[in-house]
């Protein structure tokens, strides 16, 4: 959350609730319970708006809310307060707010030619590079890496991108690789490997390779290990 987003949220809540007396959940939490607070969408925590005395060091509370308690009316809607995991007021804030100016759309922040999906930008790069060079090029974007995939829905979205591009004859590099060459696969973005989509017979046991492609034979829905030095087009994924 930035100051401009905080101001937008303050205006939105004021219009919807007036002088509210309820806590409202926001996406700030302490996942490891070590007092290192993070946004649930992995955005950088750059705005410090803790209520006086919060977060408390003597109580075990690991989720944050917008607090209604403040001496300053202007800060009434912008203070954070940590709370226990429990049900708070759930409010639909979208009704009747057409006249409120919204924050900039993330979709509009993706470079031209890139697609927006689920808070990320996706780009097909047709310049052919080996896996390491492709990964370095993707790192040139904000929090960028070669494509990581976490669901079948995301896979089909990317496959549709490639098929509709008219450049679907060659495989595309993705960010899955085996850095220690011990058949333990990792995403270059350090995301958890929770979704698997290996092609039939992959990864190869008899002729192992250590980088991964999306295969044209599967309409770009399945993975195959490939020699990392092969030059291929690739897909970058990053936050707008």
In tens, the pLDDT along 135-156 reads 999 999 999 999 999 999 999 9
Q: Are residues 185 and 70 in the same domain?
A: no
Q: Is residue 30 part of a domain?
A: yes
pLDDT single digits (tens) 68-97:
654 333 333 334 444 443 333 333 333 333
In sequence order, the 6+-apart residues with CB closer than 8 A to the CB of 45 are: 28, 37, 38, 39
Mean pLDDT score, 7-36: 67
Is it the case that residue 118 has pLDDT exceeding 70? yes
CB atoms within 10 A of CB 226: 20
Using pLDDT thresholds of 50, 70 and 90, give the confidence band for residue 54: confident
Q: Are residues 64 and 174 in the same domain?
A: no
Q: Is residue 93 part of a domain?
A: no
Q: Are residues 123 and 209 in the same domain?
A: yes
Mean pLDDT score, 45-68: 68
> Nearest CA to 44 among 143, 166, 159?
143
Range of the domain at 39: 3-83
Question: Distance (Å, rounded) from C-alpha 10 to C-alpha 227?
Answer: 53
Question: Distance (Å, rounded) from C-alpha 137 to C-alpha 146?
Answer: 9
**Percent of the chain predicted with pLDDT > 70:** 65
> Nearest CA to 64 among 78, 36, 83, 77?
83
Q: Is residue 97 part of a domain?
A: no
Judging by beta carbons within 10 Å of its beta carbon (0-12, 13-18, 19+), is residue 239 exposed, middle or buried? middle
Q: Is residue 101 part of a domain?
A: no
How many structural domains is the chain composed of? Answer: 2
Mean pLDDT score, 120-135: 97
At residue 50, the pLDDT reads: 73
Question: Distance (Å, rounded) from C-alpha 20 to C-alpha 34?
Answer: 31
At residue 145, the pLDDT reads: 98
CA atoms within 13 A on the CB side of 69: 10
At residue 44, the pLDDT reads: 63
Q: Is residue 100 part of a domain?
A: no
Question: Distance (Å, rounded) from C-alpha 90 to C-alpha 16?
Answer: 13
Is it the case that residue 120 has pLDDT exceeding 50? yes
Mean pLDDT score, 202-224: 96
CATH number at residue 18: 3.10.100.10
Q: Are residues 163 and 215 in the same domain?
A: yes
At residue 43, the pLDDT reads: 67
Question: Distance (Å, rounded) from C-alpha 37 to C-alpha 29?
Answer: 5
Work out the mean pLDDT of the chain and round it to a whole number. Answer: 79
At residue 198, the pLDDT reads: 97
Is it the case that residue 194 has pLDDT exceeding 90? yes
pLDDT single digits (tens) 97-110:
334 344 445 555 89
Q: In what order do the strands lie in the sheet with 24-29?
A: 38-39, 24-29, 63-66, 80-83
At residue 144, the pLDDT reads: 97
Q: Is residue 212 part of a domain?
A: yes
At residue 22, the pLDDT reads: 61
Contacts 24+ apart (CB under 8 A), 165-171: 165/124, 167/124, 167/126, 167/233, 168/216, 168/220, 169/216, 170/128, 170/216, 170/232, 170/233, 171/213, 171/214, 171/215, 171/216, 171/224, 171/226, 171/232
DSSP 52: T
Q: Are residues 137 and 173 in the same domain?
A: yes
Q: Are residues 122 and 188 in the same domain?
A: yes
At residue 75, the pLDDT reads: 33
At residue 4, the pLDDT reads: 67
Question: Distance (Å, rounded) from C-alpha 200 to C-alpha 223?
Answer: 9
Q: Are residues 209 and 133 in the same domain?
A: yes
Q: Are residues 123 and 231 in the same domain?
A: yes
């Amino acid at each position: 959350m930035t100051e401009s987003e905080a101001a937008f949220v303050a205006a939105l809540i004021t219009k919807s609730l007036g002088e509210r007396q309820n806590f409202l959940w926001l996406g700030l939490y302490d996942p490891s319970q070590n007092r290192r607070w993070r946004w649930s969408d992995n955005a950088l925590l750059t705005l410090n708006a803790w209520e006086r005395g919060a977060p408390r060091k003597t109580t075990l509370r690991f989720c944050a809310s917008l607090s209604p308690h403040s001496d300053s009316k202007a800060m009434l809607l912008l203070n954070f307060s940590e709370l226990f995991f429990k049900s708070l007021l759930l409010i639909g804030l979208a009704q009747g707010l057409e006249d409120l100016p919204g924050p900039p759309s993330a979709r509009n922040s993706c470079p031209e030619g890139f697609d927006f999906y689920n808070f990320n930008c996706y780009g097909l790069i047709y310049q052919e590079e080996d896996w390491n060079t492709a990964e370095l090029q993707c790192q040139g974007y904000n929090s960028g890496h070669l494509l990581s995939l976490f669901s079948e829905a995301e896979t089909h979205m990317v496959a549709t991108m490639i098929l509709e591009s008219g450049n679907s004859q060659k495989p595309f590099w993705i960010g899955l690789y085996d850095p220690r060459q011990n058949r333990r696969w990792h995403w270059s973005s350090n995301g958890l490997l929770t979704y698997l989509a290996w092609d039939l017979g992959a990864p190869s046991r008899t002729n192992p390779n250590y980088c991964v492609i999306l295969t044209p034979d599967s309409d770009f829905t399945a993975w195959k290990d490939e020699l990392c030095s092969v030059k291929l087009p690739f897909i970058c994924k990053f936050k707008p």
